[in-house]
Chains A and B, each alone.
Chain A
Amino acid sequence: MTLGPQPDNAMLPHRVVMSARHMPGYAYGVRSPIWWGTVGFAVAEGMGFAIAAAMYLYLVFVNGNWPLSAPPPDLLWSGLFSVVLIASIWPNQLAKRDGEREDLAKTRRNLVIMSLFGVALLVIRVFEFGTLHVRWDQNAYGSVVWLLLGLHTLHLLTDLGDTIVLTVLMFTRHGHGKRFSDVGDNAFYWYFVVASWLPIYTILYWLPRWW
């Protein structure tokens, strides 16, 4: 068998067997590549949450007594945060649905509501940080509490930023077509922010009380 250069650089001739002319220009959910990218980032970041939570449980296990020389964090602001966060599922679902219907007016309204939810949650979160009863540099318990809450806040912030940019975008002349698919993906990411909070909330606020 002789393998080697083909200096004539001849390309294979084409034989057309199908046409893409009538295929749609974009679609929603699993049909859209961006949706898969969002899932990919949610998985990687979810893994980050899982590892931070595992650190927390590991430290509980090696220390035995928990929390270390501090009372458990308060339930008021964290409870309010959780309630508001869960309530945000409803407008988020609307945002996704109206986006898929390509209804511009409703999408604008929903995105404004979601941005306001994000801002409100961020304000509550600031108060939540104030009622932890422990600083990050007090002991390993304080460090890991701030790590988990900080990590979740980072996600809250990035999704809020994303939502605000998208909201502004939908009020400009760019608000049509494929952008409606982006609205759906933004809503999907918000679900991730909500879903990741519930185990973190349980670990941070209830595990120290049950331990």
Chain B
Amino acid sequence: MLRKDLRLELRSGESTLALLALSMLVLVVLVFALDAGRVRSVDVAAGALWVAMVFAGMLGANRALLAERDNGAIRGLLLSPLDPGTLYAAKLAAALIFMAVAEVGAVILMVLFFNLEFDVSIARLAPILALGAIGFSALATLLSAITGRTRGGDMLLPILAVPIFVPALIAGVKASAAALAGVPLDSMGQWLKIMVAFDVLFVTAGYLLFEHVVGEN
């Protein structure tokens, strides 16, 4: 499992780059759409960051399993003694690493584009974004195993994933906006609790349900 992870990571220099580029483009679009140069709103910056994250995450999840499908490797993996839960964990870890890299890039760009300061409030974003990334990767990894095998799958992934991700999205945007406004982490406990609950639930659900979606027939 670990070896698979590392192999994926090494191979995917281009995919991480694509994620970064996509996050950047989303931020650029939002800067123009919201005329952010003049507004300079902390709320807008937090929202933009999460939009970038959702889009980048979607792309990452689509790619993570695509690599396995292209050369039929998924069948080999299923025949190997790995149980589907472990396979899921490996895929989740890979998606998470991609997202983490993209997020670090997106945060730096956000600070630059929205005229924010690099200070402690940016550091407070880290746990919030990490929780969001775990939840999103957990969900997207499970769902991309589904959508990757249906017609029009690339379109279906966001249609299925985004509504389910909404609670973590609400909590994440609220917590991020609060963090950027200088609120310390311990006074946004409720939002963080929702994100933790989401993460625990979907990592567990993904682990248990993955065997039902990767099996042949």
Judge: A and B partners, yes or no.
no
Q: Which residues of A contact B (CB under 8 A)?
A: none
